[in-house]
């Protein structure tokens, strides 16, 4: 989709800026994010260059660590792998540590979320949203934060499901765990554990409404991209941080240049959809793709001419690219729905996911499987 392509291009620009400053980790992170959103050739090439460079550097480093033959080999020193020494100050506040300890100490799901047993769905959502953002490993590096984050996700997953909440109120957490294991064992497809980060994704992003937070994981490291949050959170994140503004400068410059550039760019020759002046329907010769043009189209492009042939090749490529993007998004939405059903043990949601159609994928398949 076009919105995915724009987001991917933004990620690519951030990666290019980071790479030019020597921050290859950040560049690699945003390039992978760009590829997930929308495949761009520039992003793939730059990522390949960084990975190759990293591989060569790693090989060179390991060669230098080897001692000459004849001497005893010593073990490499990993003492400073995760920082200097115990003298370094912790990267978390006392408040964060206190919250982690509090959550890990209690066992009752209502106490974990800080709500009463009469809490409704909205109160549960608000409590989970607040706690999950405060305890997410990318925001809170206090010892035990990961366990606390898991506990909050588990508590909300149970209490937000009517049937599981009823069981929990009657029998406690042990009965809930037994029933979840039974459901997982009832089907091979359900015999899988979902980490709390996947649930976090489903709650804040992944196509579900009312939030614009998307979290993704690379290895054991979590990253999140908050496109819209409350004003006080943006204030805390960005106020007084010049690095953020420096990173945004290239994007602002490109936006201004494109704004002025659009003043001198002529209107497109065709449209894949009927709109405004593009009211005259035509079809490409090769793939029979429908497109719309203005009334003066045939003055510029003669029937059977080379220029028309090249234009139709562009139209077909554009059409296929749109179908691929649509198909990718449809499959993501279907898989998210299926995983949600498996997570909550709801066969009804799983069935709804299986019935979801993927029209773009079907059109793409017909296009490439057509005779001739």
String of DSSP letters for 22-75: T-HHHHHHHHHHHHHHS--HHHHHHHHHHHHHHHHHHHHHHHHHSPPTTSPPPP
Q: How far apart are CA 296 and CA 301, in angstroms?
A: 9
Q: How far apart are CA 82 and CA 80, in angstroms?
A: 6
> What SS3 state is found at 214?
strand
Supply the pTM of this predicted model.
0.33
- CATH topology classification for 103-160+194-228: Helix Hairpins (1.10.287)
Specify the range with the lowest mean pLDDT, choosing from 51-60, 92-101, 220-229, 258-267.
220-229
Mean pLDDT in residue range 156-164:
88
Residue 175 has pLDDT above 60, yes or no: no
Mean pLDDT (the chain, rounded): 76
Alpha-helix runs per DSSP H in the chain: 2-20, 24-37, 41-65, 94-105, 109-113, 121-135, 145-159, 162-171, 173-185, 196-204, 231-238, 242-261, 297-300, 306-344, 347-355, 359-368
Cβ-based neighbour number of residue 32 at 10 Å: 17
Residue 148 has pLDDT above 60, yes or no: yes
């Amino acid at each position: 989709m076009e919105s995915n392509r724009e987001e991917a291009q933004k990620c690519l620009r951030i990666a290019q800026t980071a790479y030019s400053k020597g921050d290859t980790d950040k560049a690699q992170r945003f390039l992978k994010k760009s590829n997930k959103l929308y495949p761009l050739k520039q992003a793939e090439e730059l990522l390949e260059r960084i990975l190759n460079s990293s591989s060569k550097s790693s090989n060179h480093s390991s060669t230098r660590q080897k001692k000459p033959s004849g001497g005893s080999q010593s073990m490499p020193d990993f003492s400073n792998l995760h920082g200097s020494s115990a003298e370094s100050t912790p990267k978390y506040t006392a408040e964060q540590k206190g919250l982690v300890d509090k959550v890990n100490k209690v066992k009752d799901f209502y106490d974990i979320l800080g709500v009463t047993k009469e809490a409704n769905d909205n109160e549960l959502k608000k409590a989970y949203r607040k706690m999950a953002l405060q305890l997410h490993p990318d925001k809170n590096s206090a010892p035990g934060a990961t366990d606390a984050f898991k506990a909050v996700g588990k508590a909300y997953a149970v209490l937000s499901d009517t049937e599981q909440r009823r069981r929990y109120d009657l029998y406690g957490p042990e009965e809930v765990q037994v029933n979840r294991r039974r459901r997982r064992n009832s089907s091979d497809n359900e015999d899988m554990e979902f980490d709390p980060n996947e649930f976090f994704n489903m709650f804040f992003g992944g196509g579900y409404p009312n939030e614009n937070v998307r979290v993704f994981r690379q290895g054991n490291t979590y990253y999140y991209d908050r496109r819209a949050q409350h004003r006080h959170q943006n204030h805390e994140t960005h106020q007084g941080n010049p690095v953020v503004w420096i990173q945004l400068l290239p994007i602002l410059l490109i936006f201004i240049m494109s704004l002025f550039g659009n003043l001198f760019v002529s209107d497109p020759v065709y449209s894949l959809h009927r709109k405004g002046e593009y009211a005259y329907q035509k079809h490409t010769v090769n793939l029979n793709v429908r497109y719309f043009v203005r009334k003066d189209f045939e003055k510029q492009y003669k029937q059977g001419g080379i220029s028309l042939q090249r234009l139709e090749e562009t139209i077909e490529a554009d059409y296929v690219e749109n179908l691929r993007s649509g198909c990718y998004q449809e499959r993501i939405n279907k898989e998210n729905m299926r995983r949600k059903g498996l997570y909550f043990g709801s066969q009804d949601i799983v069935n709804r996911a299986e019935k979801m159609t993927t029209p773009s994928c079907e059109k793409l398949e017909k296009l490439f499987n057509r005779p001739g």
